[in-house]
Structure 1
């Protein structure tokens, strides 16, 4: 299939005049006529019919144009994608769970030695992994390690786990506190689609406690709002976003539960220079900090 000939066909179909179409395409009129005759010979169908000095699509040409338009549109997208791969200023698409999107990622990018355009999208870990798999994102920041060999990952932040309660909650005034004390209060859980839910359930299992959620939410921001409004308390990993909220956190003293966040990317992707720079900074920070957050 000669894609140039398809573009000639589309231009002639639009302008309906050989001379005007040839001028638009910057080719000779005999060259355009030869291309159209070649297409008609290959397809065994008349694609155009004369109307005075002009031409118009034949019934066959009208039907084929629908498919040719799709082919040309996809070719344009392909060429743009290839062009983007070679651009140094390609926008880096970064997807992140909410806890890291507010400050961690901007600070990470700011620490890189060069500037580059980027976009940050918020989402849940399963959605981010799906987006990475489909190449909708270049980098992902998730809770929990990916199980697929399609990805490579690096830990970027650890957080201790505690009991998060509203400011002034009666648990704060207790001289001694155990995990079992929280069972007297409504529990707020992550939804089952979140890896954080697995962490919550594992902690309860470790303490041999059974608790039914009074309410659930997908995002930690929503859970914090529920806690502030008195809907219950929750077992959560400590994050910087807690600092300006009307809550208190009681660290679990009986175990050393930790929640780890990871930077994730496809192993086989074509990398822009900006993406390479971010990943190098992630590896550097991991080695330097030893994850002592």
Structure 2
């Protein structure tokens, strides 16, 4: 059977008259009758009870009509679905992100995109920048929110654009401020106090650019980072600060992560900045990805 036969059956079922159904379908009655009989043979059961004066649906035909109408409704919707897929208003978007983005660009970006394109299914996955880049190069996912390599160099197959650059602040145990172990000057923490404190940081293998930015701050100010603990999750790092194991240098957006016993303090002097941006494959600009990038770059210019 095909969609044409289903439409013919529905027309007869709705009119209960082969002549009127044929007129609705812009065809003559004999081929319509032959088509319905062929359909009944294929189904192995009669769809209509026919007399010289009337046509009626069989119980089987009445039950099948419900399913036929559902199928025809789906078929009728296909052109609109195709248009929405073509225009990026429906479909799927697979987006990965570094943990720091969860406190800065990610919530606003996903919220805005989802409100504009609610029919798009968004799949989010947290991963380090290096894992995201490797996955994109292997054809997995559509885009990633990453901390770019310190060199700024990415594989030629990938495109990248900065979304945010924010200064680092110190996450410190509140008690260390109160007892004077970390004295503040005009509300800021001097580099000399920072470089003497024990440090909690991402492992370099997981976030080399971020790791080097922090340890470079210590080197620039005449110290060597005394790393007492490493952690992969930003929440874990802040929890370890709360446990008074050390201090951490984190993006300023981490102020959004409140934790008892932790204070976020501005750094005095020249302060390093952490860049966060979006990366995607140059040859795989799907309609949904194109829409996502448009949302991401609002206020920054076009894609």
Residue in structure 1 matched with residue 176 of structure 2 by the alignment: 169
Residue in structure 1 matched with residue 99 of structure 2 by the alignment: 98
Matched, 1:126 2:133: no
In the aligned structure 2, how far is the partner of 1:281 from the partner of 1:169? 42
Residue in structure 2 matched with residue 283 of structure 1 by the alignment: 297
> CA RMSD, aligned part only?
2.6
Aligned-residue offset at 1:235: 1.8
Contact 2:169 2:266 in 1 (8 A): yes
Q: Which structure 1 segments of 5+ residues have no match?
A: 1-25, 27-84, 289-293
The one of 168, 192, 198 equivalent to 1:186 is 198
Larger Rg: 2
The one of 231, 238, 245 equivalent to 2:252 is 238
Report the secondary structure of 1:231's partner residue: coil
* Aligned CA distance change for structure 1 residues 241 and 254 (closer, same or farther; 3 Å): closer
In the aligned structure 1, how far is the partner of 2:129 from the partner of 2:172? 25
Aligned-residue offset at 1:101: 3.3
In the aligned structure 1, how far is the partner of 2:217 from the partner of 2:249? 9
Report the secondary structure of 1:268's partner residue: coil
What does the per-residue CA deviation read over 1:172-191, in whole Å, with 9 as the maximum and x for residues that have no partner?
65346411112443211221
What does the per-residue CA deviation read over 1:122-159, in whole Å, with 9 as the maximum and x for residues that have no partner?
01111111111112110100112452112111111222
The more displaced of 256-265 and 145-154 is: 145-154
Would you say how many aligned residue pairs link Structure 1 and Structure 2? 204
Report the secondary structure of 2:109's partner residue: helix
TM-score under structure 2 normalisation?
0.61
* Aligned CA distance change for structure 1 residues 120 and 285 (closer, same or farther; 3 Å): farther
Contact 2:184 2:190 in 1 (8 A): no
Contact 1:97 1:142 in 2 (8 A): yes
* Aligned CA distance change for structure 1 residues 174 and 270 (closer, same or farther; 3 Å): closer
Residue in structure 1 matched with residue 156 of structure 2 by the alignment: 149
Contact 1:167 1:248 in 2 (8 A): yes
In the aligned structure 1, how far is the partner of 2:243 from the partner of 2:161? 36
Q: Which structure 2 segments of 5+ residues have no match?
A: 1-41, 43-84
The one of 159, 164, 170 equivalent to 2:166 is 159
